[in-house]
Amino acid sequence: MKNFLLPAAMATSILFAAPAHAQPLAGQGAFAGPQVRVDVGGRKLNMYCMGKGSPTVLFEADAGRAGWDWSAVMPQVAARTRACVYDRAGMGASDPIIRAASVGNASRDLGFLIKNARIEAPLVLVGAGYGALVAQQYTWRSRGAVTGLVLIDALHEDALPAGNADRLQAALDCLAAAESGKTGGGCAYSAVAYNAELGQSLAAAQAAQAVKPAYWRARASELDSLEVSAGQVRTARKPFGAVPVVAVEQGDAAAIVAAVLQVLDQQLPVK
């Protein structure tokens, strides 16, 4: 495995021309609503792709988060090759969960999504936090389809963050509030460091999600299944072989884009 750690400062120097996003990005509204809804076995997951080329870069969001988190990153990657985001079950514009939201189930859904959306290999997966576990789990079962990984603030199955019980209880409290029609409190959809300033449509979509019971049910299930997910990853873990893996710590959009381009440069001829 070729494993690299890309500091944020280095990424910023690589992308020195990238502007600071003081205003919402053009085209950001496309992330706010349903795009292509792909069947994954009687349920549908929302997916959005842009750009052309190979490999396809597919983004996997952190726990309790939707594909719109990548609205500042994906367009920059799509200038180079095809890039796709999707919403896990219960998130964004995807159908609700019907089973435990574990890493194993998420990686199986991802496999159905890739197959039924006819996304051809090779693939580069980009995962943040919990999404990094899903990306790795799918890589181990993909039989060589994944040819690059970018892991952002990745969780590790043997070093889960403290305070998960408190986060789970908070999600369950928000679920109860949503089911009773209450809003506000600490039940907002929080921002991520690598997103741009939110435009009106995306801000409205995130606010709407935060009052849906289906969202909090999925978020709580991911937290409640975290130990099971860790066991699934622990059982599956093996060397990545020749697959390049770039880890980004505390990445902003520039750091993440730089890491993705670093992986792509090892696979595509420089134009």
pLDDT tens sequence across 131-174: 999 999 999 999 899 999 999 999 999 999 999 999 999 999 99
Q: Name the residue range of residue 249's domain.
A: 2-15+32-161+227-265
Domain count, the chain: 1
Q: Is 166 inside any structural domain?
A: no
Q: Is 195 inside any structural domain?
A: no
CA–CA gap between residue 241 and residue 131 (Å, rounded): 21
Give me the half-sphere count of Cα atoms (radius 13 Å) on the Cβ side of residue 150: 28
Enumerate residues 6+ apart whose C-beta is below 8 A from 5: 246, 247, 248, 249
3 state SS of 158 = coil
CATH of the domain at 77: 3.40.50.1820
More confident residue, 191 or 169: 169
CB atoms within 10 A of CB 42: 7
Of the pLDDT bands very low, low, confident and very high (cuts 50, 70, 90), residue 205 is very high
Strand-strand pairing, 44-50 and 36-39: antiparallel
pLDDT for residue 8: 41
Q: Is 191 inside any structural domain?
A: no
Q: Is 212 inside any structural domain?
A: no
- Radius of gyration (Cα) for the chain, nearest Å? 18
Q: Is 71 inside any structural domain?
A: yes
Q: Is 182 inside any structural domain?
A: no
More confident residue, 28 or 67: 67
Q: Peptide bond preceding 122: is omega within 30 degrees of 0, i.e. cis?
A: yes
Count of positions (residues) in the chain: 271
Q: Is 203 inside any structural domain?
A: no
Q: Is 20 inside any structural domain?
A: no
Look at residue 13 and tell me whether its pLDDT is greater than 50.
no
pLDDT for residue 24: 52
Enumerate residues 6+ apart whose C-beta is below 8 A from 224: 100, 168
More confident residue, 16 or 45: 45
